[in-house]
């Protein structure tokens, strides 16, 4: 298709729609084409005029941080940086306090200008992320062959947007396989581009302790050297590793620069075999159940032995000594030090799958752990099992990891957090556990949560339908966990997280299903497909699933 001079506004709009990564959407009975934005914004209206042309001479004015964020996206996507004080029409990036809800933004694009306003710095940052998705490559002078000059445009559009939930998380397990600083930073960039604002780091588990602490240096000295599969088993393992305190602070600062908090998790009283390597006196002997023997049979590896690093994939065999006061001194030391280096409000103490701790001991332990954290001035977070305990600190947040259709008992435990004064983070395992295998995908991943998990299943659910009796007021947010028993590299992380993390982000950010024409699987698959070129230019090695009509350039 040749680009003609003097085209009509309607023709220009059509051309922009075809070329600008737009997605068809049913609106009031008509099918209209709208620019593809993920997560779906609260409101988007296509303009009738010609698109804005983005060139090396485009001027960017306003907030310096936002301008730098935009420059990095334009550089990656289009290969040039817009000029400061250039000659052509411009992009203005402003914070207008009080202009909307926290984290909200507005974008207005016409042929002459792009104006992005945020109600705060986070809102402006999200506006810039959306603007990055709107940038489209049109080929000047005809087709899209090699060597032709590309023309970059932003379609005429008005977007007003604000998040549905305050907490929008991604969890990375750095315990089963350690993932180094650069990988974590990359994951922060990826998550922030989807408007996620919390990085939950699963820092400890049976296989390793990944955070250095001055009060308990033996933890990383003795329990961080290995990972699932050891460092030799058929190439499955990695040598392990840990974050120094300086490294952790670097993660916290990097996340903050992308408007994300870090939520550190120290899993207890189960998932603590590694603690026993450093402090045998705090750990019970491993309990070997029939379930464990099954896992060992299916996945290989040795039975856990006291004092020997565990390199298998079984869960539920370890417990701290919950009746020993020395254990609570340990809990206080660990969370005291973490509280001091974590500016975000949340400290996660695990509480999942403590299958070898009695119910009574578990209840006493989680109540005390939650109080220790609350006394530090932080908000405790625990997996939903802890909801069974009376005496949890009343601010405790529960993280639901049951299924889309909650089983008996699981809902009750989750509801208990809300009844107690807290809220829930929703991580339905059969939808947004990013470590579940894909259908027709790579060998990576597990299947226990009704896997394989399609992108359609990751997308097609409504947060207020998960736990009976819990509506938006009881929901703090949504989080997509990535457990790493089989996930060893940054490339593995990309494959498993993309595009399913985008489905989780839409549940966390966008209007409820039924409240927006965009909140359908049909719309999502088109919109996410339109992000292929942007993701590629950002270096995201997404899984090219055949469920999605990927746009290529
Ligand atoms: C369950 S979900 C776990 C993790 C595993 C994961 C693997 C939860 C709170 N615990 O220990 O890594 O399954 O999918």
Region 469-488: what's the mean pLDDT? 97
Relative to the CA of 176, which ligand 1 atom is closest? 12
Give the pLDDT confidence of 310-350 residue by residue, as tens digits. 999 999 999 999 999 999 999 999 999 999 999 999 999 99
Atom of ligand 1 nearest to the CA of 205: 11
Same fold, 9-161 and 167-509: no
- Looking at residue 54, its pLDDT comes to 96
Bridge partner list, 59? 83, 90
Local structure of residue 266 (DSSP, 8 states): E
pTM equals 0.94
C-alpha–C-alpha distance, residues 44 and 184, integer Å = 32
Q: Give the Å distance between the CA of 483 and the centre of ligand 1.
A: 7
Task: Report the alpha-carbon distance of residue 138 to residue 153 in Å, rounded.
Answer: 7
CA of 195 to the centre of ligand 1 (A): 25
Instruction: Kindly report the protein residue whose alpha carbon is nearest to atom 6 of ligand 1.
Output: 483
Residue nearest atom 13 of ligand 1, based on CA coordinates: 483
Distance, CA 364 to ligand 1 centroid (Å)? 23
Question: What pLDDT sits at residue 539?
Answer: 98
Ligand 1 atom 5: the closest Cα is on which residue?
A: 483
Instruction: Write the residue with the smallest CA distance to atom 12 of ligand 1.
Output: 483
Nearest residue to 193 (alpha-carbon basis) of 99, 342, 70: 70
Contact, 338 vs 266, CB < 8 A?
yes
What pLDDT, on the 0 to 100 scale, is given for residue 159? Answer: 98
Q: Ligand 1 site: residues with CB under 6 angstroms?
A: 315, 352-353, 383, 401, 433, 435, 446, 483, 485
Question: Looking at the predicted structure, is the pLDDT value of residue 175 above 50?
Answer: yes
**Nearest CA owner, ligand 1 atom 4:** 483
Q: In 3-state terms, the chain is what percent helix, strand and coil (to 5)?
A: 35, 20, 45
Question: Which residue, by CA, sits nearest to atom 8 of ligand 1?
Answer: 352
- Residue 10 in this model has a pLDDT that exceeds 80: no
Ligand 1 centroid, distance to 403 Cα (angstroms): 13
Nearest to 320 by CA among 340, 349, 295, 296: 349
- Closest by CA to 434, choosing from 444, 425, 424, is 444
Q: d(Cα 445, Cα 491) in Å, to the nearest integer? A: 13
Q: How confident is the model at residue 140 (pLDDT cuts 50, 70, 90)?
A: low
CA distance 394 to 374: 9
Q: Which residues are within 8 A (CB) of 110 and not within 5 positions of it... i.e. 6 or more apart?
A: 47, 49, 52, 156
Least confident of 282-296, 359-373, 532-546: 282-296
pLDDT higher than 60, residue 21: yes
* Domain regions of the chain by residue span: 9-161, 167-509
Question: In the CATH hierarchy, which fold is given to the domain comprising 9-161?
Answer: Chitobiase; domain 2 (3.30.379)
The pLDDT score that the predictor gives to residue 6 is 33
Q: Which of 250, 353, 371, 553 is catalytic?
A: 353
**Backbone dihedral angles phi then psi of residue 292, each to the nearest 5 degrees:** -60, -45
pLDDT bucket at 2, cuts 50 / 70 / 90: very low
Total residue length of the chain: 553
State the distance from the centre of ligand 1 to the C-alpha of 259, rounded, in angstroms.
27
Picking from 41, 1, 34, the residue whose alpha carbon sits closest to that of residue 20 is 34
> Which of 313, 352, 400, 424, when mutated, tests ligand 1's pocket best, judged by the most ligand atoms within 8 Å of its CB?
352
pLDDT exceeds cutoff 90 at 490:
yes
Q: What is the pLDDT of residue 291?
A: 82
Paired strand residues for 107 = 116, 159
Lowest mean pLDDT among 7-16, 347-356, 451-460: 7-16
Among 366, 483, 484, 485, the mutation site with the greatest number of ligand 1 atoms within 8 A of its Cβ is 483
C-beta separation of 212 from 275 below 8 A? no
Burial letters 443-472, b for 16+ CB under 10 A, else e = ebbbeebebebbbebbbbbebeebbeebee
Q: pLDDT by residue (tens digit) across 184-198?
A: 999 999 999 999 999
The reported pLDDT for the residue numbered 467 is 96
Confidence (pLDDT) at 236: 56
| Residue of minimum CA distance from atom 7 in ligand 1 | 483
Determine the distance separating the centroid of ligand 1 and the alpha carbon of 398, expressed in angstroms.
15
Which of the four CATH numbers 3.20.20.80, 3.20.20.10, 3.30.1130.10, 3.30.70.1710 does domain 167-509 have? 3.20.20.80
- Which residues, 6+ apart, have CB-to-CB distance to 359 below 8 Å? 388
Ligand 1: residue of 201, 312, 315, 496 to mutate (most ligand atoms within 8 A of CB) is 315
381 C-alpha vs ligand 1 centroid, how far in Å?
16
Instruction: Tell me the sheet residues that pair with 503.
Output: none
Model confidence pLDDT, tens digit, residues 272-288: 999 999 999 999 999 99
Residue (of 319, 423, 333, 429) closest to 376 by Cα position? 333
- What ligand 1 atom has the least distance to the C-alpha of 350? 9
pLDDT band at 1 (very low <50, low <70, confident <90, very high): very low
- Rounded Cα gap, residues 467 and 478, in angstroms: 13
Atom number, ligand 1, closest to the C-alpha of residue 429: 2
With contact defined as beta carbons under 8 Å apart, do 172 and 184 qualify?
A: yes
Q: Does position 137 have pLDDT exceeding 70, yes or no?
A: yes
Closest residue by Cα to atom 11, ligand 1, is: 315
Instruction: Say whether 347 sits in a helix, a strand or coil.
Output: strand
pLDDT mean over 511-531:
97
547 is catalytic: no
- Would you state the pLDDT for residue 87? 61
Distance 353 CA to ligand 1 centre (A): 8
| Average of per-residue pLDDT across 418-439 | 98
Q: What is the mean pLDDT of the chain?
A: 92
């Amino acid at each position: 298709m040749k680009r003609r001079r003097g085209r009509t506004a309607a023709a220009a709009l059509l051309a922009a729609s075809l070329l600008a990564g737009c997605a068809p959407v049913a609106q009031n009975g008509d099918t209209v084409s709208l620019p593809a934005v993920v997560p779906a914004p609260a409101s988007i209206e296509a303009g009738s005029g010609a698109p804005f042309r983005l060139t090396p001479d485009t001027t960017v004015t306003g907030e310096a941080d936002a301008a730098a964020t935009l420059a990095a996206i334009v550089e990656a996507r289009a290969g040039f940086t817009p000029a400061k004080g250039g000659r052509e029409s411009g992009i203005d990036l402003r914070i207008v306090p009080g202009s909307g809800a926290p984290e909200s933004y507005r974008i207005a694009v016409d042929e002459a200008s792009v104006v992005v306003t945020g109600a705060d710095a986070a809102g402006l940052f999200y506006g810039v992320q959306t603007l990055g998705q709107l940038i489209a490559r049109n080929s000047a002078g005809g087709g899209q062959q090699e060597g032709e000059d590309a023309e970059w445009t932003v379609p005429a559009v008005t977007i007003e947007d604000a998040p549905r939930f305050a907490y929008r998380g991604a969890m990375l397990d750095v315990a089963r396989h350690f993932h180094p600083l650069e990988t974590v930073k990359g994951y922060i960039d990826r998550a922030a581009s989807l408007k996620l604002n919390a990085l939950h780091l699963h820092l400890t588990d049976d296989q390793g302790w990944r955070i250095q602490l001055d009060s308990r240096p033996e933890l990383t000295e003795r329990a961080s050297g290995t990972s699932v599969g050891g460092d030799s088993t058929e190439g499955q393992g990695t040598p392990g590793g840990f974050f120094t305190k300086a490294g952790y602070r670097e993660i916290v600062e990097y996340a903050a620069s992308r408007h994300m908090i870090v939520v550190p998790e120290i899993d207890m009283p189960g998932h603590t075999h590694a603690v026993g390597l450093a402090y045998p006196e705090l750990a019970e002997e491993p309990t070997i159940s029939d379930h464990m023997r099954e896992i060992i049979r299916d996945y290989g590896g040795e039975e856990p032995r006291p004092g020997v690093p565990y390199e298998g994939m079984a869960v539920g065999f370890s417990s701290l000594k919950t009746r020993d006061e020395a254990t609570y001194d340990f809990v206080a030391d660990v969370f005291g030090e973490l509280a001091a280096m974590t500016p975000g409000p949340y400290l996660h103490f695990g509480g999942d799958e403590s299958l070898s701790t009695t119910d009574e001991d578990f209840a006493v332990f989680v109540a005390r752990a939650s109080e220790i954290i609350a006394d530090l001035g932080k908000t405790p977070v625990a997996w939903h099992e802890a909801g069974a305990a009376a005496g949890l600190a009343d601010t405790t947040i529960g993280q639901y990891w049951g299924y889309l259709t909650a089983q008996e008992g699981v809902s009750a435990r989750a509801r208990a957090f809300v009844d107690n004064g807290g809220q829930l983070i929703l991580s339905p395992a059969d939808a947004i556990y990013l470590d579940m295998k894909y259908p027709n995908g790579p060998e990576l991943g597990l299947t226990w949560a009704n896997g394989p998990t399609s992108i359609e299943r990751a997308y097609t659910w409504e947060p207020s339908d998960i736990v009976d009796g819990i509506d938006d007021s009881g929901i703090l947010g949504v989080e997509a966990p990535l457990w790493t028993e089989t996930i060893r590299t940054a490339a593995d992380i990309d494959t498993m997280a993309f595009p399913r993390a985008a489905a989780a982000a839409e549940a966390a950010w966008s209007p409820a299903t039924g409240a927006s024409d965009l909140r359908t699987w049909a719309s999502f698959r088109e919109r996410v497909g339109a992000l292929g070129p942007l993701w590629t230019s950002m270096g995201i090695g997404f899984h090219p699933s055949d469920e999605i009509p990927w746009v290529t350039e």
